[in-house]
Amino acid sequence: MTAEAQQMIEHIVQLIRKPGGTIDENTPLVSSGLIDSMALVDLLLKLEDLTHKRIPAGKVQPKDMDTVAKMFATAERVGKPRK
């Protein structure tokens, strides 16, 4: 796992505040109800910071953000280098 993915996981753990729970790169987040869709704006902005990319929000669908691994794949697919 990359350091960025690890940072994202830590960010999500803070966000969901469920003690004892563990999440990894492939834990479903939205479809399992761990985070609600409204928290995704925050996660997308965090993803931009971690990847140094600008991600066109219009090209991102709910399924693209469901796991940490999918988030980074999405950033790779649709992100543009940030100036």
Partner 1 sequence: MPRFAHLVEALHAAPGDKPFIAFWVDEDEQETVTFAEFRRCALAEAALLREVGLTAGDRLVVLMPQGIPAMTSFVAAMMVGAIPAFLAYPNFKVEPSKYRSGLAGVTANLSAKAVVIDEEFPEEMLACVSLGSETKLLRAPARANDSDASMPDRQHEFRHIQPDSLAFIQHSAGTTGLQKGVALTHAAVLRQIEYLAQVLKVSGDDRIYSWLPLYHDMGLIACFMLPMVCHIPLVMQSPIEWVMRPETMLQIISEYKCTLAWMPNFAFQFVPRRTPQSRWAEYDLSSVRLLINCSEPVRASSMVEFQRAFAVKSAVLQSSYAMAENVFAVTQSDIGQPSGPSRIWVDAQQFRSAHRIMPLEEGTPGALLFTSSGRLMPNQQVRILSDSGEVLGADFVGEIVVQSDCLFEGYYNRPDLTAQAIIDGWYHTGDLGFCLKGELYVVGRKKDLLIIGGENIYPQDIEEIVGSHPAIHDGRVIAMGVYNPDLGTEDIVVVAEVEHEKWLANAVELEREICSRVVAGLGVAVRRIFLKPPKWIVKSTAGKAARSATREKLLHEHPELNVEF
**Which residues contact partner 1 (rule: CB under 8 A)?**
17, 31, 36-42, 44-45, 54, 56-65, 80, 83
Whole-number minimum distance, CB 27 to partner 1, in Å? 18
**Which of 3, 29 has the CB closer to partner 1?**
29
Burial class (CB in 10 A: 0-12, 13-18, 19+), 31: exposed
Nearer to partner 1, 21 or 62 (CB): 62
Q: Residue 6 Cβ, how far from partner 1 at the closest point, in Å?
A: 22
